Each structure stands twice: as structure tokens, then as C-alpha cells.
Structure 1
Amino acid sequence: MKKFKLQSLAALLFIVTVLTSCSSDTDTPKDDNIYKSSFVTEVVGPVTGNVNQELSYSVSYQVENGCGQFHQMTDVNFNKVDGYQVEVKYPPTCSINAPEIKRTVYKLTAPAAPGTYYLRFAKSDSEFITTTVVIK
């Protein structure tokens, strides 16, 4: 009986040691970048398209400094109206302090149903730049 308890205790300690030593808490590299939302200044692209066709829009947005880079488009909602907002990635330090207008291309596939659709991009905390797209 004493031998069985000792073996059980040894097995339990071994399992706990294995589980804690395989922890991946420190495996993720630290991201020092700063992520901020940016407002769109202009959207240029097609106003018509066909179902399931890829549409490309040139989206201009203002960054706080010359080091800001496009990261992703995020969903936003103002007064129950859905739209998109640009998220910009800034490095921890930057020597180019002047604000700039930058561009990115936003691609999307037109819906499978014909109709009139509205693309809305945040131009302020409460306003959108709206592009109307007719899908045939």
C-alpha cells in the first residue's frame, strides 16, 4: 500500500512538472507597436459592379506621423449604421513627426445579390464617407 501511494505521488509530480514546463506563456514575441484608428479623407473606386466581382477602392487616410503604416480595416458603428475604419500601426519611436496622408487599396467581393449597396468609411467620430455601389 505504501509503495502504491509513493508511485502515485511520483506520477502526479511528474505530470505536474511536464504540464508546467510546457507552458507557452513566453513563446509569444512582444509587440511594442501602437495601434490607433485613423480617419479616411477620400475613397475612390467603382460605383457599379457585377455579382461576385472583386472591387478595389483606393482609401486615403491621415496618419499622425510619417512612420504610421496601414494595419487593417475594422468594423465601426455610428448611430446604428455600420461602416469601416482604418487601423494604423505606429512603431514605438519615430523621427518623422509630420502628419501625412497615406493610401491603401481596399478589396472586397461584390455581394451575390444584385442591388444598391453603401460602403461607409469613418471620416470623423460621427460621420462617414459613403460610396454607393450598384451591383448588377
Structure 2
Amino acid sequence: MKNFRLQAAVIVLLVSTAFTSCSDDDNTPNTVTKTSLVTKVEGAVTGDINVEVPLTVTFSVDNNCGSYNKFIETAAANTKTIEVESKYEGADCGTTPTSKTVVYKFKSTAVGTYNLKFKKTATEFVTHTIVID
């Protein structure tokens, strides 16, 4: 009986491996991520504690396959350095850079003046200051 169970388990394992093996389908899109540069930030300059302040962030992508992926934040005291990460999916994307917009939501749990520095170039930033009352 133990031999039968072992043989059945081996057969099930082999069959399941055959059904889940990799296919040779090369049509899956390649996804690449990279940092995009911010050109403009618009929104309120004041806000309240624990209330989101939405900011419209305009950034540039290399071609029409580029889209927003996520924000990468580095915080130090009341200053946040923010980068936009874009993802590129697909083929036949063209070579014309284009602008995209995304909403960044800032929220603070303390009163103060906050400087949000969005990466414009390797050494320059678009700075947006928000005063939380």
C-alpha cells in the first residue's frame, strides 16, 4: 500500500510539472522601469493635519509606452525628496518624448512647513512648499 501511494505521488508530481512547464511564447511584453524627470508641480500650499493635500505632478517619459509606476521618497526632517519612477511596456513605442500627469498625495500628522523636492534633473528640483496648520 505504501508503494502504491509513493508511485501515485510521483505520477501526480510528474504530470503537474509537465502542465506547468515554461512555454516558448516570446510575445510577453518586456517591462523596464526608470526614473522620469518632473517638469511641473501644482496644488495647494496650505493644509490641515491628517488631511491629504493633492498635488498634480507633470513628468516626462521617453515614448508612448511610458507610464507612471510609483513615487520614490527620501525624507529628512521636514523635507522630502521625491522621484517619479516610470515603467515602459510594449513594443513599437516610437521615440517622441511625452508628458504625463499623476496625483501625489501629501499628508502630515504634525504642524509645520514642508518642502517637497521633486527631481527635475540630476542636481535640480521643482520645490513645492506646504504649510500645515
TM over 0.5: yes
Partner in structure 2 of residue 120 of structure 1: 117
RMSD across aligned C-alpha pairs, in angstroms?
3.0
CA distance in 2, matches of 1:6, 1:109: 63
CA distance in 2, matches of 1:103, 1:8: 59
* 1:40, distance to aligned residue in structure 2 (A): 0.6
* 1:23, distance to aligned residue in structure 2 (A): 4.0
* 1:47, distance to aligned residue in structure 2 (A): 1.2
- Amino acid paired to 1:44: E
Aligned residues: 125
Answer yes or no: is 1:35 the counterpart of 2:33: yes
Answer yes or no: is 1:134 the counterpart of 2:99: no
* 1:39, distance to aligned residue in structure 2 (A): 0.5
- Amino acid paired to 1:10: Q
- TM-score (normalizing by structure 1): 0.69
**Secondary structure at the residue paired with 1:11?**
helix
Cα separation, partners in 2 of 1:107 and 1:64, compared to 1, 3 Å = closer
Percent of pairs with identical residues: 33
CA distance in 2, matches of 1:7, 1:98: 64
* Rg (Cα) greater in structure: 1
In the alignment, which of 14, 17, 39 is matched to residue 14 of structure 2?
Answer: 17
* Alignment of structure 1 residues 83-94 onto 2, 5 Å: 83-90=81-88, 91-94=90-93
| Contiguous gaps of at least 5 residues in structure 1 | none
